[in-house]
Structure 1
Amino acid sequence: MIVSLKHDADAGRVLNELAGRGLWVSRVERSASGSTVHYVIASHSQPADPADLARIDGVAEVTTPKPAHPLVAAQGPVVTVGGVKIGGASPVWMCGPCSVESEGHVLEMAQVLAKLGVTFLRGGAFKPRTSPYAFQGHGDAALGWMRRAADAAGMLVVTEALGEGHVPFVAEVADLVQVGSRNMQNFALLKAVGRAGKPVLLKRGMASTIEEWLLAGEYVLSHGASGVIFCERGIRGFDDSTRNLLDLGAVALLRHVHRLPVIVDPSHGAGRRDLVLPLGRAALSAGAAGLMIETHPDPGAALSDGPQAVPLAQLGPVLSDLGGAYAKEAVQ
């Protein structure tokens, strides 16, 4: 947004007025003659009505640029997946193991999760691992295991498409196609996922800005995705006390300013199961539409990410507590 002043304006007074409205000025530009001042409003300013700013004494014109991501801006705060509204009146839980380990394993878990009110069965069939020697997932077979387990329990499936070649089968099996953090700016994959026409869960890149995240969402929508749900899963910080730095400011910004549905993944956000509950409460208070939580019947024996998985036997009380936190926030 650019606020242009009249020739005889008191520039200092206008600047004070802008600050009083919660606006930061990123830079000041002057015309070639130096007679006209333009205040360029920083992107981290709070929303402001251009008509209101134009009424400030000394302001000649307020110019608002077109959004760089118009499809994302027009989407709205609710995306429906398989009849379930994400961003609606009730929180949505997406729970399951980091990796799908066997058909019996995921079938047993789905039955328990469904009874706890979990809507989406999550789990990785294809696992992007930092080390090439770590468990990479069971691939296509695991997708079939997830679908059959979810159908038997009356659940929906969210799982990741790791590469372009995976998209057709993943889109056939999953109700919600996930793009992982490492692939948020894999533009060929984003296009392929968009062309599948399914709703997409877009995880934020571990070193990505919010604008880059929103533009990645624009990619999938512009190529045909029926909706995009953003997932905050933590970004790279300098402190290794937690696995990642969970950015709840981004959650509040996307939900309350951009009016978009956001799912928060506190499991990856902290990498510690003891912080899943307090971070989950905070995420819901910030405006999250739901949570993605890793769980496992025996985390010590999990093939991947065991230390951050909530034991399945403890998940019920956690979700009950979180549901109460969401209801309290909705009343306020």
Structure 2
Amino acid sequence: MILILKNGATDEQIDHVIRRVEGMGLQSHLSRGTYRTIIGLIGDESVVNKEALLTLPGVAQVIPVLPPYKLASREAHPESSVIDVSGVKIGGGNLGMIAGPCSVEDRDRMMRIAESVCKSGANVFRGGAYKPRTSPYAFQGLGEKGLQILREVGDRFGVPVVTEVTDPRNVELVAQYADMLQVGARNMQNFVLLTEVGKSRRPVLLKRGMSATIADLLMSAEYILSEGNSNVVLCERGVKGFDPSTRNLFDVAAVPVVQGLTHLPIIVDPSHATGRPDLIPPCALAGLAAGADGVHIEVHDCPEEAKSDGPQALLPEQYEQISHQMRLMADLLGKTISPLASSAGGSTPPKPPTEAHA
């Protein structure tokens, strides 16, 4: 349920409304928009007396919210959210261009790849320090050493870094190094992990699970939002299909569907969706044409030597070509590729931990 307040409602009236609804055992979520202020109610709505709420000073309307994802819904937050990742904006006409290797490898290689993709227009660098793999014998990532390399890369090129967190016990550690936390497809419904990243306050990149519906994705986002972290970016990375021609089925229609249901930004990941370098460029452009708020692409300077997912990575020169095409597409759509914080006066990236944590 949401309460729409009258234009000109005072802070005292707003505080009074919040005290009343919280006195009913409900949680409240205040959203101040350009044109109106909304209070979202979370909890057992059977205890709510709608007529009583309408009598409160400052309340204009009381509207039931049908979707179970109350905080993520458009009804609760009509304006599109803009997520700030250390100065790089995603959403609201700002495109996030995330690029980098599947996993963090040696320092020199990460520096080379980061320099290349940043010159080509990427504004967020990605790399996995912890890798959830189907086989327990496959490369599992470098752990904290990988986080240290990733942070060094980010500081060197003034680019925000995003990396996956796989264990609730590691959320605090990863948040000390990364500007953005990724929850991967395999962990989309790891509710303990979602709760912990919600408490972290770091921006979160939440990937759609391989067999998850759009409603499932939004309910997972709700876990993060309900902990007070409103900085969530969704990611369409393909779902399981029956045709082996591609790694997954790239559900490009999910982009406009999601945007009709939620205020949260959504980007596309054609690398995991297709698993084929030849399909990544056209699917990236298709995602932008469908309205995506950014594109996530894997890039490696020698895919045959990659520790993981080498076959689906673009070479740096291939990324340069598609990046140019994406800039043209952004101009055509009237959108902006958010510049790096170092050139836009953005916020400062997180500092690496002290020696006690290293």
2:122 matches 1:104: no
CA contact (8 A) 1:207 1:236 kept: yes
Gaps of 5+ in 1: 1-62
For the 8 Å contact 1:121–1:157, the answer to whether it is kept is yes
Following superposition of structure 1 onto structure 2, how do residues 118-129 of structure 1 map, counting pairs within 5 Å?
118-129=122-133
Cα distance in structure 2, aligned partners of 1:258 and 1:187: 20
Identify which range, 210-219 or 98-107, moves more after superposition.
Answer: 98-107
Letter in 2 for 1:215: M
Contact 1:277 1:322 in 2 (8 A): no
Q: CA separation in 2, counterparts of 1:208 and 1:281?
A: 24
- 1:269 maps to 273
Match of 2:72 in 1: 72
For 2:66 and 2:319, how far apart are their aligned partners in 1?
44
Contact 2:86–2:179 under 8 Å retained in 1: yes
In the TM superposition, 1:178-327 aligns within 5 A as: 178-327=182-331
Using the alignment, how far apart are the partners of 1:77 and 1:278 within structure 2?
Answer: 27
Bigger radius of gyration among the two: 1
- Between 108-117 and 276-285, report the one with greater CA deviation: 108-117
Paired with 1:226 and 1:106, the residues of 2 have a C-alpha distance of 30
Q: Partner of 1:263: helix, strand, or coil?
A: strand
Count of matched residue positions in the alignment of Structure 1 and Structure 2: 269
Question: Does the residue aligned with 1:248 lie in a helix, a strand or coil?
Answer: coil
- 2:72–2:263 contact (8 Å) kept in structure 1: no
Q: How far apart are 1:257 and its partner, in Å?
A: 4.3
Alignment of 1:34-73 (within 5 A): 65-73=65-73
Q: In 2, distance between residues paired with 1:277 and 1:229? A: 22
Secondary structure class of the residue paired with 1:325: helix
Q: Contact 1:91/1:323 (CA < 8 Å) preserved in 2?
A: no
Identity %: 47
| Alpha-carbon distance in 2 for matches of 1:326, 1:117 | 12
Distance 2:330 2:220 in 1: 28
Instruction: Note closer, same or farther for the CA distance 1:148–1:117 as it changes in structure 2 (3 Å cut).
Output: same
| Structure 2 partner of 1:158 | 162
Which fold has the larger relative contact order, with Cα–Cα distance below 8 Å and residues 6 or more apart in sequence?
2
- Per-residue deviation at 1:176? 1.0
For residues 244-303 of structure 1, what are the alpha-carbon distances to aligned partners after superposition, in whole Å with 9 as ceiling and x for unaligned? 001111111112443431111000010001011100111001111110100000111111
What is the alpha-carbon distance in structure 1 between the residues aligned to residue 174 and residue 120 of structure 2?
26
TM-score where L is the length of structure 1: 0.78
Q: Separation in 2 of the partners of 1:190 and 1:258?
A: 18
Structure 2 length-normalised TM: 0.72
Post-superposition shift, 1:64? 6.1
- 2:334 aligns to what SS in structure 1? helix
2:341 corresponding residue in structure 1: none
Amino acid across the alignment from 1:223: E
Q: RMSD between aligned alpha carbons? A: 1.5
Is contact 1:200-1:228 (8 Å) kept? yes
Q: Secondary structure at the match of 2:297?
A: strand
The residue type paired with residue 165 of structure 2 is A
AA aligned to 1:70 is K
SS at match of 1:310: coil
The one-letter code sitting in structure 2 at the alignment partner of 1:88 is G
- Choose the corresponding residue for 1:83, options 87, 108, 119: 87
Residue-by-residue CA offset, 1:171-214 (whole Å, 9 max, x unaligned): 11111110000000000000011111111110000000111100
Distance 1:261 1:290 in 2: 9
Instruction: Compute the displacement of 1:81 (Å).
Output: 1.7
Where 1:292 maps in the other structure, the secondary structure is strand
Please tell me the residue identity of whatever aligns with 2:66: K
Matched position secondary structure for 1:72: coil
What's 1:53 paired with?
Answer: none
Aligned-partner SS, 1:268: helix
